[in-house]
Structure 1
Amino acid sequence: MAAIQELSELTDSLRHDETSNNSRRPSTFLNVVALGNVGSGKSAELNSLIGHIVLPTGENVATIAPVVVHLQRDTSLSSKSIIVQIDDKSQQVSANSSAKPRYKIILKIQTSTAPPLMLVDLPGLDHHIMDKSTVSEYVEHNDAILVVIVPAAQALEIESSRALKLAKERRRSSFLPFIGTRIVGVISKIDQAASDQKAIAAVEALLLNKGPTKAQDIPWVALIGQSVTTTTLKSRSSGSENYFETAWRAESESLKSILTGAPPSKLGRMALVDALAQQIQNRMKLRVPNL
């Protein structure tokens, strides 16, 4: 949980800096926007970050409106506890406007297992309801971290990933143009490609920064399909207080058994938290050198 604690401290430092400087500019350093096609595993991987199964996932389930999740870490809660407040907002447009009404769901969540981030779960980029204005509303925040999610079975075609292309187009911040990338890559559904040796080799190359040139400047991590994590959760004993940590350890061990040539530090939920913390810290320190 060291990375989560680090993110908590970074959050406090940034808020203190903004308060001290009477900043009117809303910070987006702690915003994480998930990009991927329908079925890529965006919601499942965000559930992994949250530490609870909150966002709907599964076959024939697709996100059809942006879901904004405000996470607040409350260490007084047990690992089983979660407090959820649900809201929704619909932006009305005039009758003679050609613009589409915009709708989004807002979740405010308190849990002891989550890093203090704002997560944005967008509909799949290939979903018919997605348009440029919806994507731009969230992706073009200068300091938001863009999480590109690609299923392991598609690792061989990573260069043609729509999510990767979109993120690379918007990777540089106009506020901090000298930083470079603000992307974290996630290879999802590793278990579903376990028998595909070529796909697994492509995943391992990405994790070792030996993949295609266009993907080498991005930190990549690998996560397993939700099925394994969910099975682990369901098999926990009713009195266990640390079943989420048990599930995360089980995920990490499963990944190690599949990706034998990958660095263990690039595998599992905590690897994703570490990657996000590192990207956020790098950007914050350049903006606020005294942090």
Structure 2
Amino acid sequence: MEAMEELSELAESMRQAASLLADDDPSDAAAPRRPTTFLNAVALGNVSSGKSAVLNSLIGHPVLPTGENGATRAPIVVDLQRDPGLSSKSIVLQIDSKSQQVSASALRHSLQDRLSKGTSGGSGRGRADEIYLKLRTSTAPSLKLIDLPGIDQRAVDDSMINEYAGHNDAILLVVIPAMQAADVASSRALRLAKDIDSDGTRTVGVISKVDQADGDAKVIACVQALLSNKGPKNLPEIDWVALIGQSVAIASAQSAGSENSLETAWRAEAESLKNILTGAPQNKLGRIALVDTIAKQIRKRMKVRVPNLLSGLQGKSQMVQDELARLGESMVQSPEGTRAVALELCREFEDKFLAHITSGEGSGWKIVASFEGKFPDRIKQLPLDRHFDLNNVKRVQSLSIYCLGSRWLSTIFDISRERVEILNKVSTGNGKGAITTMC
């Protein structure tokens, strides 16, 4: 579980790095968050294959409906947050900013009602029918579990599967009942996983309901072959884990207020599997093995993605360094360099100002319009002949028009004065402050 927490922290760091590469501010709470899919686990399998029971095992509580009456008819997303401060019996449901402690049975019955009322007879519409839960518990790793309807249902098409499983970092949990292990090569869930994840770096095979195959030598031999990577040659090379059915529900029913009931159930599950699958690797048996295998696959995906992120961040850093150099970072180490930067910035400002005037860009057209239209007309309307000698008035008027108007003249004068002040500061050693003031 500790390894999964470390991966959760690393996934968040990688999300922040991706945000930086996209020019987002990861520290801005108001900015849209780019969700990471490293910690997503999508269950694929037929109806009654045991998908929901497998996810319940990861959650540590029988939250998801199972069996025929609880068949998943719409995507269920369970966003888990591990809280070690809670007891192993506690489940906290989070809705927006509010938290409410609930029981597993209450959640399960609520989901059953929503599934039966909301999607009966209808076709699956992906996220339009999605049921979302955000839970805090001490028994689960920080994963986002996605329980899809059985892929052999008519309502489920490839578009729904790709919508959830097509993300190139989500872990695919292909759930195969032990009784169907002999026919695993024809499994549609496995074929879909191979189409989505051709190299098998994010796929985990889960053999469920092994306890139901106890005593069937042929089935047990097939299961042990898969766990030992000795299955059919045409199968993708993926890791397999074996589980018994309804282990969480059994542990919950048998617990009598003990805080260690779930840990006891995990150990009992592993021992039971060892007795059934005597020839299988012991590190591939039980819920603990499943969590470790998922963590290993997440680590693989991160190793694939980290070099690309580092390369992108290095490129971004080089762009920043080039921009700083262009603005004179290396030049301001000496008075001469500071003076050169100040002059360059003055030239850029003057060029931009003249471009606005000559092209009318921005508000430059207003200055031109005032000079060519309103200003001369208003000068002529002034009753200056009543108060001054007419010849002197004509001289002032001509001079004012020639200088583009008193306001423009004042602006040019201010620019020139500021430029002189900047150069004076540069020459006296205050160049950096001058540049900051001018910018």
Structure 1 runs, 4 residues or longer, greater than 4 Å off: 86-89, 98-101
**Cα-to-partner distance string for 1:102-151 (whole Å, 9 max, x where unaligned):** 31100101011111111100000011211222111111111111110000
Query: In structure 2, what is the equivalent of residue 131 of structure 1?
Result: 157
Is the aligned partner of 1:15 residue 2:12? yes
Q: 1:34 aligns with which of 35, 40, 43?
A: 43
- TM normalised by structure 2 equals 0.59
Query: In structure 2, what is the equivalent of residue 249 of structure 1?
Result: 267
The AA in structure 2 aligned to 1:132 is D
- Kept after mapping to 1: 8 A contact 2:75/2:146: yes
The offset of 1:100, in angstroms, is: 5.0
Higher RCO (C-alpha 8 Å, min separation 6)? 1
Alpha carbons of structure 1 residues 184 and 21: separation in structure 2 relative to 1, 3 Å: closer
Query: In structure 2, what is the equivalent of residue 70 of structure 1?
Result: 79
Cα distance between partner residues in 1 of 2:17 and 2:196: 30
The AA in structure 2 aligned to 1:79 is S
Is the aligned partner of 1:183 residue 2:203? yes
Identity within the alignment, %: 59
Q: 1:47 aligns with which of 56, 69, 73?
A: 56
Cα distance between partner residues in 1 of 2:208 and 2:131: 24
Alpha carbons of structure 1 residues 234 and 142: separation in structure 2 relative to 1, 3 Å: same
Q: 1:230 aligns with which of 246, 249, 258?
A: 249
Cα distance between partner residues in 1 of 2:74 and 2:164: 13
The offset of 1:180, in angstroms, is: 4.7
Cα distance between partner residues in 2 of 1:59 and 1:37: 12
The offset of 1:232, in angstroms, is: 3.5
The AA in structure 1 aligned to 2:304 is L
Alpha carbons of structure 1 residues 274 and 119: separation in structure 2 relative to 1, 3 Å: same
Is the aligned partner of 1:272 residue 2:290? yes
Query: In structure 1, what is the equivalent of residue 195 of structure 2?
Result: 169
Query: In structure 1, what is the equivalent of residue 234 of structure 2?
Result: 214
- Kept after mapping to 2: 8 A contact 1:229/1:251: no
Cα distance between partner residues in 2 of 1:214 and 1:208: 15
The offset of 1:18, in angstroms, is: 2.7
Query: In structure 1, what is the equivalent of residue 365 of structure 2?
Result: none
Alpha carbons of structure 1 residues 250 and 180: separation in structure 2 relative to 1, 3 Å: closer
The offset of 1:14, in angstroms, is: 2.2
1:148 is paired with a residue whose SS is strand
Cα distance between partner residues in 2 of 1:195 and 1:257: 11
Alpha carbons of structure 1 residues 99 and 246: separation in structure 2 relative to 1, 3 Å: closer
TM-align CA RMSD: 2.3
**Cα-to-partner distance string for 1:153-181 (whole Å, 9 max, x where unaligned):** 00000000110010001114xxxxxx653
* Deviates further, 38-47 or 124-133: 124-133
- TM normalised by structure 1 equals 0.87
Cα distance between partner residues in 2 of 1:108 and 1:182: 24
Query: In structure 2, what is the equivalent of residue 112 of structure 1?
Result: 138
Tell me, which stretches of 5 or more residues in structure 1 are unaligned?
90-97, 173-178
If each structure's helix is expressed as a fraction of its own residues, which one has the higher value?
Answer: 2
Q: 1:202 aligns with which of 199, 222, 237?
A: 222
Cα distance between partner residues in 2 of 1:150 and 1:105: 24
Cα distance between partner residues in 1 of 2:269 and 2:47: 23
The AA in structure 1 aligned to 2:185 is E
Aligned residues: 272
- Kept after mapping to 2: 8 A contact 1:67/1:121: yes
Tell me, which stretches of 5 or more residues in structure 2 are unaligned?
23-33, 97-110, 115-122, 311-439
**Cα-to-partner distance string for 1:204-251 (whole Å, 9 max, x where unaligned):** 00000011123351100000011x54333322222x111111111111
Cα distance between partner residues in 2 of 1:35 and 1:100: 17
Cα distance between partner residues in 2 of 1:14 and 1:79: 25
Is the aligned partner of 1:142 residue 2:168? yes
* Deviates further, 128-137 or 105-114: 128-137
The AA in structure 1 aligned to 2:284 is K
The offset of 1:13, in angstroms, is: 1.7
Cα distance between partner residues in 1 of 2:68 and 2:217: 25
Larger C-alpha radius of gyration, 1 or 2? Answer: 2
2:252 is paired with a residue whose SS is helix
Cα distance between partner residues in 2 of 1:99 and 1:52: 27
The offset of 1:20, in angstroms, is: 4.4
Alpha carbons of structure 1 residues 21 and 225: separation in structure 2 relative to 1, 3 Å: closer
